[in-house]
Amino acid sequence: MKALISLLQFTTILPLGKPQDLVNFARQSYLYPCAGYIIGGLVALPVYFITDKTIASSVAIALFLLISGAHHFDGLLDLGDGLMAHGDQERRISALIDRQVGAGGVSAGIAITLLLFAGLLASSSVIYAIIIGEVCAKFSMAFLTAYGTPFREGMHSFLHQYSRPVFPFISALFCIPLVFLPVSPLKLAGAAIVMVVCPLILFVVSKKLFGGVNGDVVGASNEITRACVILALALI
């Protein structure tokens, strides 16, 4: 229970009492998808009562940002700056870790938000898309936490040192309950493929451009994977 509370305190702004030692979660970072179920459920609950799909999709995005404290969204903006920076690896890293947001970050934020909104709007069920998208997004974070070699000291390097190569496989097991949702197996298979491909691409790109992974990349993977999974559910 301490590990779960520590996880939720790390990924949300929910008032959960006395702060838990992050080591409790770091030693069990395969629990990431559990946060996906909880966050997805909290977002889906009020959205369930909204009949207009456009408003429902907008409210869902707002709640994702609110509940997470825009923590992972901030990583997306930083990654956007790093990707768009010109020059060598050192310049890209400097842009990635810079506290100020540039045009690359704004562009990344707008692009992923638009894709997420379009995916929710086109989904046959916004509720199921929310839950599946968020659980799969959290798997991507477990994947990068385990396999993403840190290029600098920080939150990611702290979590990475406790992670083990087997952790993403355990995280994948936590995603299995999604099969009990009334969603076609083909759509779920597509979501499963996307939730692995997205962090894998980020892993390769980050290693090439930055020399490794940091917390911004892991946070960005949450936003990117969620949007891509929901798009896949809508398109399949």
pLDDT for the residue numbered 139: 98
- The confidence score (pLDDT) of residue 87 equals 83
Among 111, 108, 84, CA closest to 95:
84
Q: Running along the chain, 236 residues long, what does each successive block of 10 average in pLDDT?
A: 91 89 93 96 96 96 95 94 89 88 92 97 96 98 96 92 96 97 96 97 95 94 98 96
CB 135 within 8 A of CB 124: no
pLDDT for the residue numbered 98 = 83
What is the model's pLDDT at position 207? Answer: 95
Q: For 178, which DSSP code?
A: G
Output the DSSP codes for 126-172: HHHHHHHHHHHHHHHHHHHHHH--BSSSSHHHHHHHH--TTHHHHHH
CB 224 within 8 A of CB 168: no
Left (φ > 0), alpha (ψ -120 to 50) or beta: where does 21 sit? Answer: beta
* Residue pLDDT, tens place only, 135-144: 999 999 999 9
- Give the three-state DSSP class for 213: strand
**Cα gap 142→148, rounded to integer Å:** 10
pTM of the model: 0.95
Structure confidence by residue, pLDDT tens digits, 101-154: 888 999 999 999 999 999 999 999 999 999 999 999 999 999 999 999 999 898
Cα 23 vs. chain centroid, distance in angstroms? 20
Q: Which residues touch 93 (CB under 8 Å, ≥6 apart)?
A: 82, 151, 152, 210, 211
- How far is residue 145 CA from its own chain's centroid? 12
